[in-house]
Structure 1
């Protein structure tokens, strides 16, 4: 029989390595690449008329801002099927500066007045509100999951499930820092999607463990039972994960940049979610449950011996 529980520390290394790389890249990039939805700023959609690299457009806009004493990160994304439309995001600027930025692009790339497709802005206070709500909704989702698992199974299962979810979220955050993808509400959507998908896999495994525990013989340890339960559910978990990933990978390949920013963390999150459901949540639960059984048996033995005395 495969020794999943016995190798739990080895399985834990993969997400920890990804998280460690993410921490390093966090400092390399100077923190998360927060989008204007979180930090406030300007969003301009412009028809460039031809395919121009994002870096070239970013340098042009950054140059205008620097000349006017404005510091901050400028991000450029392709939009639309042709690749000629770009979405430019800048720090908060005055109305006149929006015109100055567009005039620079218009002059440099011979654009018409109609090339400015849309422009919108978000205040820093709005960005702070979005951050607070995103954090609140995430915590509420995790709390609901914790309560549900505790009621349906037991509190140890709930703790291990949430631990696995925490690893998933940290890995996704690490992917965002490694790839320097802008952190916006898309991240929250992807994260909550992964949380929901991962907990489904975890429930399947814990449900099988619970059923097998009902018929556990005295000579069968919890470790052996969990190893067998993982084997019995692994095929289902892997197959459902692969079919889901195929769809999302196709979306990533065929989608525009904004869709790819959602699909890439989703791919990583769903893959690591299946991994933690199989190899982390249930294996660490087994060790915890077995130690609790041994402690209970030891306490009963001590009480029995004390009565004899």
Structure 2
């Protein structure tokens, strides 16, 4: 009952985090990667010891490539992300990696994405997230159709969607700030992580709502709705926290042990798991109580 009775505090905390996220997005903007704006990816490996990143970056800066991202990969590789390169330009760029003639640099992989394809991927990413939200809305409305009192079934869906938006906006704001200070980019892995966060968060929220539904549908309680929700939160809190901690530990291992290309992906999921666990306990259920009180008034 503590969480439900003090819901205004948790609503305020969430509002502050959401406003901070919107501010960071407005302030720094989305640093879109080549998946969305087009460009080239070049992976280079070395026969011997990989040179220092600063050495290669200095050579690339002499070529006026514009904005580029150079990332170590594995023990002997570099991954370069830059504007779209023609065949002659790629040859010139490869020379920057071959600063030491005794340490042969080899092209492992090269791919380019045109700006038209990048724009299509951007639209498809937005459509994918929108479709997921609509499907969740319809499913929850259908699943809770038999417990339309004291709160209509579509309001369970509405609260779930609000919680999901909460769970997407805050990690996005964090990631924008992170990319600004680390020089990272938003790519398709970012969209994949958001979809994973949506799936995890809706599952966590539905567990609590399902406990409320069981009490209301079976008529096992004649208590006020606020008490029913409070008990549902208390009964499922340990399960939600245990699940979140287990997932958090797995993602932490992925962040520290996984490759460079998955670090940002794992970090975004880590933030999303924490925010999702928080919203399912401290935001979604209390918001359901608030809607019930508005309905009564």
TM (normalized to structure 2)? 0.87
Match of 2:266 in 1: 263
For residues 14 and 54 of structure 2, the distance between their equivalents in structure 1, rounded to whole angstroms, comes to 32
Q: Please point out which of 31, 38, 41 is paired with 1:40.
A: 38
Q: Tell me whether 1:78 sits opposite 2:72 in the alignment.
A: yes
Match of 1:100 in 2: 92
For residues 232 and 134 of structure 2, the distance between their equivalents in structure 1, rounded to whole angstroms, comes to 26
1:143 Cα deviation after fit: 0.6
Once the two structures are superposed, the pairs formed by residues 19-34 of structure 1 within 5 Å of their partners are: 19-26=18-25, 29=28, 31-34=29-32
1:76 Cα deviation after fit: 1.6
Q: Would the alpha carbon gap of residues 27 and 291 (structure 1) be closer, same or farther in structure 2, given more than 3 Å must change?
A: closer
For residues 56 and 19 of structure 1, the distance between their equivalents in structure 2, rounded to whole angstroms, comes to 40
For residues 138 and 270 of structure 2, the distance between their equivalents in structure 1, rounded to whole angstroms, comes to 27
Which structure 1 segments of 5+ residues have no match? 296-309
Match of 1:90 in 2: 82
Q: Would the alpha carbon gap of residues 54 and 28 (structure 1) be closer, same or farther in structure 2, given more than 3 Å must change?
A: farther
Q: Would the alpha carbon gap of residues 112 and 166 (structure 1) be closer, same or farther in structure 2, given more than 3 Å must change?
A: same
Q: Tell me whether 1:230 sits opposite 2:223 in the alignment.
A: no
Match of 2:167 in 1: 168
Contact 1:241-1:271 at 8 Å conserved across structures = yes
Cα deviation digits, residues 142-197 of structure 1 (max 9, x gap) = 11001001111110010110111111111221122121032111011111111111
Q: Would the alpha carbon gap of residues 256 and 111 (structure 1) be closer, same or farther in structure 2, given more than 3 Å must change?
A: farther
Match of 2:9 in 1: 10
1:12 Cα deviation after fit: 3.2
Secondary structure (helix, strand or coil) at the match of 1:4 reads helix
Of the structure 1 ranges 194-203 and 172-181, higher mean CA displacement relative to structure 2 is found in 172-181
Q: Would the alpha carbon gap of residues 7 and 110 (structure 1) be closer, same or farther in structure 2, given more than 3 Å must change?
A: farther
Secondary structure (helix, strand or coil) at the match of 2:63 reads helix
1:290 Cα deviation after fit: 2.7
For residues 16 and 90 of structure 2, the distance between their equivalents in structure 1, rounded to whole angstroms, comes to 43
1:28 Cα deviation after fit: 5.2
CA RMSD of aligned residues (A): 2.1
